[in-house]
Amino acid sequence: MGAVAIPLLTVMTESLVAGAAATTAAVTAAPFASAALAATVGTGLYSANQARQQGKTQQAELNRQADQEKIAAVDREGQRRRRLNEILGTSMAQTGARGVTFEGSPQAIAKGQIGQANLANEGAKVSDLSRISQLKRSGKAARITGKNRSTATLLNTGASVISQSANF
């Protein structure tokens, strides 16, 4: 846990303990009020759990999308290589049909085409890796947001319970 999370959990725990003590005192004084407090606590715990689960679900979905992007990137890489081979094969066949040997200028042209294709492929790889990394970062952010919303809900529930208990 982070340095901020531990004090928050301590405050939250102390709030809930104080709320529970107040609720216990209120049970003997007003049974209907204790039912309202119990409903508040139950609703708060349920909402906090839902927020956390929603963050985890979003992370799992984004991780699944990142995995699909990896598979698509491998497929695109294969397509780029096939296209390069087709272009080079066609270029060499045309040059051979003209009766030109593969020394000097035609060979330099083929090397130039390979170099340009490699640069384009590297750029596409970087773009693919960037998309995959962004999806994973978004997944982590979704999980953290879910945890933060859960913690805030618990703190608000504790404050509400204390406030309601003080009114008795």
pLDDT, position 55: 92
Query: Domains in the chain: how many in total?
Result: 1
Quick: pLDDT tens for 123-140: 888 888 899 999 999 999
DSSP state of 30: -
> If 0-12 CB within 10 Å is exposed, 13-18 middle and 19+ buried, where does residue 149 land?
middle
Q: How confident is the model at residue 9 (pLDDT cuts 50, 70, 90)?
A: low
Quick: pLDDT tens for 34-81: 777 788 888 888 888 899 999 999 999 999 999 999 999 888 888 888
- Host domain of residue 15: 5-166
Terminal-residue alpha carbon distance, the chain: 37
For residue 125, how far is the Cα from the chain centroid?
A: 21
83 versus 60: the higher-pLDDT residue is 60
